[in-house]
Amino acid sequence: MTTPLPSWPPRRTDRRTSSPYVAVPRESAVPARTGRRWVRRRARGMSADAVAATLDVARFDARQNPRHEDFSGDERGPAELGEWERIAQLLADSTPGTVYAPDTDDVVRAELAADAAAAAAREAELREGMRIAARADELQALRELGTLAQA
């Protein structure tokens, strides 16, 4: 004896299994920023010699990219090359045997501080918008009750 197949589409129930979807504003992806962050992750723990070798490969790639139509308007490639050059210069100016650590890099710290300040500004703007919307709802409710003659 065979078991009956479940009905399709599945029956709807009154229970909600998940919370409602709320759209959260996200910052747009900036290719140059993505490239710099990728370079920093890859360079973590590298010595000056390893960074110099990787810089040579990045320079070769930069020379080859104009030959490809896909990379003609690329922002990420030049940003990666610039970041490799900056890290190579940073390690060349430091004591021998030093390895790259993004945690101690002043440029990375400044970028993180700027990101935090921008996020705080966006959050304050969002809170202000929510406060204004709540106040507008309150005024509308008062108007509907007839206790508010003019808004």
Same domain, 32 and 86: yes
Could you report the per-residue pLDDT of 78-115, keeping only the tens digit for each?
A: 899 999 999 999 999 988 889 999 998 999 999 999 99
15-19, 26-30, 64-68, range with the lowest pLDDT: 15-19
Same domain, 88 and 129: no
Q: Residue 56: inside a domain, yes or no? A: yes
Same domain, 59 and 93: yes
User: Are 143 and 151 in contact, with CB atoms under 8 Å apart?
Assistant: yes
> In 3D, which of 114, 136, 133 has the Cα closest to residue 125?
133
State the residue range of the domain holding 148: 116-151
Same domain, 67 and 128: no
Same domain, 98 and 123: no
How confident is the model at residue 114, as a pLDDT?
Answer: 93
Same domain, 45 and 88: yes
- What average pLDDT does the segment 57-65 reach? 85
Q: Is the pTM of this model over 0.85?
A: no
Higher pLDDT, 121 or 4: 121
Q: Which residues contact 34 (CB under 8 A, 6 or more apart)?
A: 76
- What average pLDDT does the segment 46-50 reach? 93
How confident is the model at residue 63, as a pLDDT?
Answer: 84
Provide the terminal-to-terminal Cα distance of the chain, rounded to the nearest Å.
72
What's the distance, CA 48 to chain centroid?
28
Q: How far apart are CA 97 and CA 104, in angstroms?
A: 15
Same domain, 122 and 94: no
Q: If you average pLDDT over every residue of the chain, what do you get? A: 83
Same domain, 120 and 81: no
Could you report the per-residue pLDDT of 1-25, keeping only the tens digit for each?
A: 567 666 666 666 666 556 566 666 6
**Number of domains present in the structure of the chain:** 2
Same domain, 35 and 81: yes
Same domain, 62 and 122: no
Q: Residue 12: inside a domain, yes or no? A: no
How confident is the model at residue 11, as a pLDDT?
Answer: 66
